[in-house]
Amino acid sequence: MTVPLDEALLRGLVPGVLGVLVRRGADFAAAEDAVQEALVEAVRTWPADPPRDPRGWLVTVAWRRFLDATRSEAARRRREDVVDVEPEPGPVPDTDDSLHLYFLCAHPSLSPSSAVALTLRAVGGLTTRQIAEAYLVPEATMAQRISRAKRTVADQRLDQPGDVGTVLRTLYLVFNQGYSGDVDLVAEAIRLTRQLTEAIDHPEVAGLLALMLLHAARRAARTAPDGSLVPLAEQDRSRWDTAAIAEGVQILQTALSRDRLGEYQAQAAIAALHADARTAEETDWVQIVEWYDELVRLTGSPVVRLNRAVAVGEADGPHAGLAALAELDPSLPRYAAVAAHLQERAGDLATAARLYADAATRATDTAERDHLTRQAARLNTALGS
Amino acid sequence: MAKYLLLKHYRGAPAAVNNVSMDHWTPEEVTAHIQYMNDFADRLRENGEFVGENALAPEGMWVRYDGEGRPPVTDGPFAETKDLIAGYMIIDVDTPERAIELAGELSAAPGKDSKPIHEWLEVRPLYGEPSLVSE
């Protein structure tokens, strides 16, 4: 009899197993390779022969692989001073290992793309091929990116406290990459962030998890069957995932009650207000503007100010939105799209049509481009031009 | 993280600084040029920034649909076609600044008298995936 493999469960064991190997004296890069090999072995053998203690099985196999690799390396170098004794196995707390692993894989010395790749492999337990497919690059390129990243952090120890901020940014990048290849990076980002909430008690980690759940809850409604983008106001809200929304809201409320506000909690609060509205008309835009004010205060980000202008346009009317927009740099991404939307609501259809067409040329993905092109076409058709 | 296309033109780009056509170089200069291009690609592979590359033959033709049940119409090649692409490389980099830096390096490939060609390369962003968080 074969038992279907629970891949998420298997990969959830990765940080702990890696931590054990490192604590036994393996260097991070070699330990990580050994864990990958053990994972491949698990995927091959577990369905027919599931172990009683999956974590113990992985530790044993990974440690053996590490020793084999070390021995052959040593033989190659004709050296004999190899770690050869199997240390005492035993129960060890691994939440700290897990946390330190997140810190290491998102170390500030790594570029964002390297941190993403290393996190997905060493913390997430994905294979290089899966990561390469998700990011649409050749497997050899992704392999190089990962081994360079490992070399970059080779001198860092795994028991160091690190920067939660860079970890969160890395997980946010994974989440926002969306979906390509056979790995759902949205689900993977949620899994890794959830796992992080178990390793560290931090309101911003909870805030990011809430943010992810609330946005992922709307994912099915974001795309029409033909692949085109459905804007928030036009989404079929009955297709939103109410369980994910409820969980996101609950996590967010707990985080907010700690009174240590940060940008992810504020973003999640905005997403929660959207999720809370049964129809687009019921959206509490006044409160959303207040949260954007908080976000501007926290980040000073021009992109946040741009989104704030959209909210102001909904709360106080398109002219107020255009006034908020006028204070911003027109070269901002999506500036023309926001201006087009506000101009249309203000009744200047010809200007809106021109701005939609302009915005389409500045889109960074085809779904957005096609959506904006259709908006321009809709207005031009109505105007008979 | 975003992908960029680096486009090299046979014709149609503004004139390079060291603008002597390849058939007027010494054979060693041709070899040195090709070596530079290969080394550049290898370096990107090692960096984890390489996605793909291809060189295109200058000869080609134009094709269009000619109506139901008819074979497509072909025409050309046209010697006077203004824009003629010679090849491309696709890179995956963290920032637009990095794409520009790499294009600059590629443009420094040696030509006549072993001096950099300073040829103009076209850098075009590829469309990416729509991001999930947008409002």
Q: What is the ipTM of this complex?
A: 0.85
Q: Does B75 touch chain A (CB under 8 A)?
A: no
What pLDDT shows up at residue A85?
47
List pLDDT tens digits, range A93-112.
556 778 999 999 999 999 99
Residue A310, chain B, CB below 8 Å: the answer is yes
Q: Is B29 helix (H, G, I), strand (E, B) or coil?
A: helix
- Look at A267 and B47 and tell me if their CB atoms are within 8 Å: no
A186 in contact with B, Cβ within 8 Å: yes
Q: Which of B3, B92, B129 sits opposite A177 (nearest CB)?
A: B129
Q: How far is A54 from chain B (nearest CA, A)?
A: 34
Which residues of A fall within a CB distance of 8 Å from B125?
364
Q: Do B135 and A232 touch (CB under 8 A)?
A: yes
Mean pLDDT calculated for residue range B51-73: 92
Q: Report if residue A120 sits inside a domain.
A: no
Contact: B1, A173; criterion CB under 8 Å: yes
Q: Is the model's pLDDT at A204 over the cut of 90?
A: yes
Say whether pLDDT at B106 is over 60. yes
Cβ contact, residue pair B94, A112, below 8 Å: yes
* Buried-exposed string B84-104: b where 16+ CB fall within 10 A, e elsewhere: bbbebbbbbbeeeebbeebbe
Tell if the CB–CB gap between A365 and B127 is shorter than 8 Å.
Answer: yes
Judged by DSSP in three states, B48 sits in coil
pLDDT at A78: 61
Using the beta-carbon criterion (under 8 Å), do B132 and A274 form an inter-chain contact?
A: no
Answer whether residue A53 is part of any domain: yes
Distance (Å, whole) CA A199 – CA A95? 5
In this structure, are residues A59 and A86 in contact, taking their beta carbons and an 8 Å threshold?
no
* Chain-chain contact of A365 with B3 (C-beta, under 8 angstroms): no
Q: Does the CB of B43 have a partner CB in chain A at under 8 Å? A: no
CA A354 to chain centre: 35
**Does residue A192 belong to any structural domain of this protein?**
no
pLDDT at A201 over 70: yes
A138 vs B contacts (CB less than 8 Å): 50-52
- Quote the pLDDT of residue A181: 65
Lowest mean pLDDT across A143-147, A308-312, B24-28: B24-28
Q: Is the Cβ of B129 closer than 8 Å to some Cβ of chain A?
A: yes
Give the pLDDT mean for A340-353.
97
Which of A79, A113, A140 represents a domain boundary (last residue)? Answer: A79
The answer to whether A367 contacts B130, with C-beta atoms less than 8 Å apart, is yes
Banded pLDDT at A205 (limits 50, 70, 90): very high
3-state secondary structure chain A: CCCCCCHHHHHHCHHHHHHHHHHCCCCHHHHHHHHHHHHHHHHHHCCCCCCCCHHHHHHHHHHHHHHHHHHHHHHHHCCCCCCCCCCCCCCCCCHHHHHHHHHHHCCCCCCHHHHHHHHHHHHCCCCHHHHHHHCCCCHHHHHHHHHHHHHHCCCCCCCCCCCHHHHHHHHHHHHHHCEECCEEHHHHHHHHHHHHHHHCCCHHHHHHHHHHHHHHCCHHHHECCCCCECCHHHCCHHHCCHHHHHHHHHHHHHHHCCCCCCHHHHHHHHHHHHHHCCCHHHCCHHHHHHHHHHHHHHHCCHHHHHHHHHHHHHHHCHHHHHHHHHCCCCCCCCHHHHHHHHHHHHCCHHHHHHHHHHHHHHCCEHHHHHHHHHHHHHHHHHHCC
- Bridging pattern class, strands B122-125 and B50-55: unpaired
Q: What is the pLDDT of residue A180?
A: 62
Q: Which has the higher per-residue pLDDT, B2 or A81?
A: B2
Q: Is the pLDDT of residue A132 over 70?
A: yes
Determine what percent of chain A is predicted with pLDDT higher than 90: 80
Q: Which residues pair with B62 in a beta bridge?
A: B75
**pLDDT of B121 higher than 90:** yes
- B34 pLDDT higher than 60: yes
pTM for this model (two decimals): 0.89
Mean pLDDT of B37-45: 95
Q: Does position A88 have pLDDT exceeding 70, yes or no? A: no
Tokens of B3: 């992908």
* Residue A182, pLDDT score: 75
Query: Looking at the predicted structure, is the pLDDT value of residue A152 above 70?
Result: yes
**What is the C-alpha separation between B42 and B26, in angstroms, rounded?**
25
Instruction: Kindly state the tokens that stand for A144.
Output: 């190089």
Q: Which of A299, A314, A329 is the last residue of a domain?
A: A329
B2 membership: H or E segment, kind and range: strand B2-11
> Which range among A163-167, B74-78, B115-119 shows the weakest confidence by mean pLDDT?
B74-78
Q: Angle A264-A266-A271 (CA atoms, 0-180°, nearest 5)?
A: 90
Residues A359, A319 within the same domain: no
Position A167 in a domain: no
User: Where does the pLDDT of residue A146 fall: very low under 50, low under 70, confident under 90, or very high at 90 and above?
Assistant: very high
Final residue of a domain: which of A79, A102, A132? A79
Quote the pLDDT of residue A83. 47
Q: Which long-range contacts (CB under 8 A, 24 or more apart) does A336-340 make?
A: A336/A362, A337/A362, A337/A363, A337/A368, A337/A372, A338/A306, A338/A309, A338/A310, A340/A372, A340/A375, A340/A376
Q: Which CATH architecture has domain B7-56+72-125?
A: 2-Layer Sandwich (3.30)
Task: Give the span between the Cα atoms of B40 and B25, in whole angstroms.
Answer: 21
Domain residue extents for chain B: 7-56+72-125
Query: What's the farthest any 2 CA atoms get from each other in chain B?
Result: 58
Contact A189, A208 (CB under 8 A): no
Tell me how many domains chain A contains: 4
- A84 within some domain: no
B83 pLDDT above the threshold of 90: no
Interface size, chain A vs chain B, as Cβ–Cβ contacts under 8 Å? 85
Say yes or no: A321 and A354 in one domain. no
Residue B130 touches chain A, beta carbons under 8 Å: yes
- Per the domain annotation, does A176 fall within a domain? no
Degrees (nearest 5) of the Cα angle A168, A171, A175? 135
Q: Round the average pLDDT of chain B to a whole number and report it.
A: 91
SS3 B4: strand
Domain carrying residue A40:
7-79
Question: For chain A, what is the mean pLDDT?
Answer: 92
